[in-house]
Amino acid sequence: MRKFTITALLAVSTTLAGCAMGGPVNQGLSSVNQPVVSRTDYVFDVNTNGQSLSYSEEARLADWFEALEVGYGDRISIDDPDPYGSGERRAEIAEIAARHGLLLADRAPVTAGTIAQGQMRVVVSRMTAEVPNCPNWDRRSNGEFAGSSMSNYGCSTNSNIAAMVASPGDLIRGQAGDGTGDPRTTSRAIGSYREATPTGANNQLEETETTGGN
């Protein structure tokens, strides 16, 4: 009778604990709270003047870049309906983009709306990263009988990564290595320190002792 009573109490306790928990069950080591990267395309149509841009159009474009505060991580591209394009116009826009430390991309994304005759479109693509639904306290960590991590697991670390990454696109596809990560290069300073002759070797340091008196 005692055994049956204990079993019944445990069953009721487990049921109540299961009802108190919320959120999905995650029994793995990976967090379900992962950064989500989104992209926004800003467009600006400039009037073309033959093969080049007028001074006023260059000023308008420069002011637009300043208003958007373009910088590292942004992608600037040109959509020119002229099938032959204009190298001079592209060079002028590239010069304005260079003031912000950016280069022009080779291809422009597809944007809504048509480009009027006598105009070309400048596109600034900007990516942002965030972890949605964080913080999340739906599933608590105490009284956990399902072996699941709490619902807020990973929110802090991944939110910090999303906030600090210079180029959010790197969270989707990392940049290719350029060879600077060779461990032989990074450990060269440590090797030089280890191979250096100690300062106290060969009696390089001499201890002198002076006494004074009346």
pLDDT tens-digit readout, 45-69: 999 877 788 899 999 999 999 999 9
pLDDT at 9: 35
The pLDDT value recorded for residue 129 is: 95
What distance in Å separates the CA atoms of residue 128 and residue 53, rounded to the nearest whole number? 31
pLDDT of residue 3: 40
| Whole-number pLDDT of residue 208 | 57
CA quadruple 112, 113, 118, 122: dihedral, nearest 10: -20
Asked if 8 and 86 count as a contact pair (C-beta separation under 8 A), the reply is: no
Residue 64 burial (10 A CB sphere; 0-12, 13-18, 19+): middle
pLDDT computed for residue 5 by the predictor: 37
- Those residues of the chain that have pLDDT short of 50 are 1-20
What pLDDT was estimated at residue 74? 93
pLDDT of residue 145: 76
The per-residue pLDDT for 186 is 67
Q: What is the pLDDT of residue 17?
A: 45
Q: Around 126, how many Cα atoms within 13 Å sit in the side-chain half-sphere?
A: 11
DSSP 174: P
Q: Is the peptide bond before 168 cis (omega within 30 degrees of 0)?
A: no
- C-alpha distances out from residue 85 to 77, 98, 174, 201, 203, Å: 13, 20, 32, 71, 75
Q: What is the pLDDT of residue 213?
A: 56
**Distances from the Cα of 123 to the Cαs of 40, 41, 86, 149, 178, in angstroms?**
10, 6, 17, 43, 28
